[in-house]
Amino acid sequence: MAVLMEIAEPGQSAGPHESGPGARRRVVGIDLGTTYSLVAAMHTDGYPAAIPDESGEVSLPSVVHYPGEGDPLVGAAARELGYLHPRDTIFSVKRFMGRGLAELQESGRRFPYELEAGEGGMVRLRTGRQAVSPVEVSAAILRTLKVRAEDALGGALAGAVITVPAYFDDAQRQATKDAGRVAGLEVLRLLNEPTAAALAYGLDKGREGVYAIYDLGGGTFDVSILRLTRGVFQVLATGGNSALGGDDFDQLLAARFLEEMGHPEAAPGLVRLALQEARRVKERLTVEPVVTVDFGERAGIPMYRREVSREEFEGWIGELVRTTGLPCRRALKDAGVEAGELAGVVLVGGSTRVPLVRRFVAELFGREPLTDLDPDQVVALGAAYQADLLSGSGREDLLLLDVTPLSLGLETMGGLVEKVVPRNSPIPVARGQEFTTFKDGQTAMAIHVVQGERETVDQCRSLARFELRGIVPMTAGAARILVTFQVDADGLLTVTAKEKTTGLSQQVVVKPSYGLTDGEIERMLREAMVHGAEDMEERLLREARVDAERVIQATAAALKQDADLLDADEQKRVRRAIRLTWEATQGNNHEAINQAVKGLDEATRFFAERRMDRGIRAAMTGRHVDDFVPPAG
């Protein structure tokens, strides 16, 4: 009789406690947040739940304190030490992930720690004991959540899904994945936060239709438009700002408090105290009309006490809230959806508890947002669903289709961008496109990978450069180089270039230089819309110049090789056509350049015919006509 064997990945075979029908591997979803982080897992009833600590709290403050000796403290205990040890206590580390020192210095934001450049370009934070990278700090938070989950689930974890903002770039995603590995986690997938929220809502309620996910967390803002149809979650469009969140509300309030105290350039301890008080006031104003600000009496700090009304607070943060409107309207346009067609709007992130935010969302989308699930927990719950699915224990009727936030492409001749993977393409995705050489005898090709929506390289973001060398010398245009872009389910990019004749290939895993400026993606999209017409004119001009240069070079080479086919007048006519075409390329009229190229083609047609006749005669010399006739049958 046949023997059935249970096959598992090495090191992942089921233990006795996991065997039997309905067994689940120990996998979790983690929301690695700017202000708070959570871990969630599926229950045997088929629904996820956040895992609490020993005191019953599910939210872990994303704060790490580095003492003079011993292991770092994480969570509420670390947060309490922020005022006394501001340089040794790291808050909001998510905002540093994948960022460079120069960018943070140019942002104008105030940080109560010393920053320095680290290896690979990512910033490091100097504590009293050591300099730590954002990856190390994030790993400490993830490790705490890992221990919490293992204690609750009764054993080692098999893997975790970690959520990231939809507009995290490649550097930020890679840094998050690295933090998971440092924490000892098997990272099953990086999942976009708005998608995780939709996952939780869709499965919980069995809803179908098109939904907007408005995600305003502590450090980032994301909006996604998704279609839910019979278990298929398709992200239609995304938008957002990776440098806008509830932390900015805190910064604004803290700056006002310090200015009123007469300490606009305060010491780190006072800055940290002001930020903590600002956060407390913001949170209290979500449920109370007036809150008293009271710094209390502390050594070296002047007495400061005042009342802040909700109306006053909303006046201060109003402009920040309104800036979220543009990405929302653009995402709807990209998705081809009117606000009135939405089946609902889902709120995600603790900052959506602010009453002004909820009123703004209702006005923007023309409907009251859904608040069935806790906005602080919904991302972790969705991540737990996805982890369960990837572990093989989840629903088999679920398909999750995420998208790329920006177009990916290559630089071509003339500094133009050839888009290979358009923005909002479902991921994972692999797309290839053939390119060729520009000059005769070219043996190498420079591959420049860029990201953005503009038509020219100088208006897009450079991701990586590499070279394909060893191309067999051929005439211009004969070589065939296939460049393939592969974006995996985590949104990370690999680019491969392969010369099809020889099989020669070169590959690069794109890890862009750290330091994407705040709001750069938002700026890219905005400028692509504003400058669309002029960008296209610039593209047409550059394409015309490249084509003209190619024709000029080919004609000049032919003239040098076969000038004896022309008499003096004919040579003069050809050279004049070349000169007129070159002169046209010095202007800014692409139509004039194209007309000059057409004139050059017409002026040299007789020359091309004579060169073809010579080539045929040379090929037939010493050969019989029967050599060129294929055998019958």
What integer pLDDT is reported at residue 458 of this predicted model? Answer: 78
Residue 31 annotated as catalytic? yes
What integer pLDDT is reported at residue 587 of this predicted model? Answer: 85
Are 526 and 488 in contact, with CB atoms under 8 Å apart?
A: no
Residue 101, pLDDT above cutoff 90? no
Are 384 and 187 in contact, with CB atoms under 8 Å apart?
A: no
Are 216 and 245 in contact, with CB atoms under 8 Å apart?
A: yes
Under CATH, what is the fold of the domain 24-244+323-403? Nucleotidyltransferase; domain 5 (3.30.420)
User: Which of the four pLDDT bands, split at 50, 70 and 90, describes residue 355?
Assistant: very high
Are 327 and 221 in contact, with CB atoms under 8 Å apart?
A: yes
Are 274 and 262 in contact, with CB atoms under 8 Å apart?
A: no
Q: Of residues 191 and 604, which shows the higher confidence score?
A: 191
Residue 10, pLDDT above cutoff 60? no
Fold agreement between 408-516 and 533-620: no
Residue 266, pLDDT above cutoff 70? no
Above pLDDT 70, what percent of the chain?
Answer: 83
Q: Of residues 393 and 195, which shows the higher confidence score?
A: 195
Residue 532, pLDDT above cutoff 90? no
Q: Of residues 151 and 567, which shows the higher confidence score?
A: 151
- Give the strand order in the sheet containing 131-132: 114-117, 123-126, 131-132
Residue 372 annotated as catalytic? no
CATH class of the region 246-320: alpha beta
User: Which of the four pLDDT bands, split at 50, 70 and 90, describes residue 364?
Assistant: very high
**305: DSSP letter:** E
- Structural element, H or E, at residue 390: helix 378-390
Q: Share the mean pLDDT of the chain.
A: 79
Are 293 and 305 in contact, with CB atoms under 8 Å apart?
A: yes
HSE at residue 559, side-chain half, CA atoms within 13 A, is 21
What does the alpha-carbon distance between residue 134 and residue 224 come to, in Å, rounded to a whole number? 27
What integer pLDDT is reported at residue 205 of this predicted model? Answer: 56
- Structural element, H or E, at residue 546: helix 532-562
409 three-state secondary structure: strand
Query: Rounded to 5, what percent of the chain is helix, strand, coil?
Result: 40, 25, 35
Active-site choice (103, 170, 193, 522):
193
What integer pLDDT is reported at residue 402 of this predicted model? Answer: 67
Structural domain boundaries in the chain: 24-244+323-403, 246-320, 408-516, 533-620
Average pLDDT over residues 242-255: 86
Active-site choice (53, 88, 94, 376):
94
Average pLDDT over residues 403-426: 80
Architecture of domain 408-516: Sandwich (2.60)
Q: Which of 154-168, 198-212, 412-426 has the lowest mean pLDDT?
A: 198-212
Architecture of domain 533-620: Up-down Bundle (1.20)
What integer pLDDT is reported at residue 579 of this predicted model? Answer: 87
Residue 568, pLDDT above cutoff 50? yes
CA dihedral for 177, 183, 188, 191, sign (positive or negative): negative
Active-site choice (31, 248, 402, 518):
31
Active-site choice (88, 136, 170, 215):
215
Residue 94 annotated as catalytic? yes
What integer pLDDT is reported at residue 457 of this predicted model? Answer: 79
> Which amino acid appears at position 314 of this protein?
E
Residue 62, pLDDT above cutoff 90? yes
Residue 626 annotated as catalytic? no
Are 403 and 334 in contact, with CB atoms under 8 Å apart?
A: no
User: Which of the four pLDDT bands, split at 50, 70 and 90, describes residue 11?
Assistant: very low
Residue 534, pLDDT above cutoff 80? no
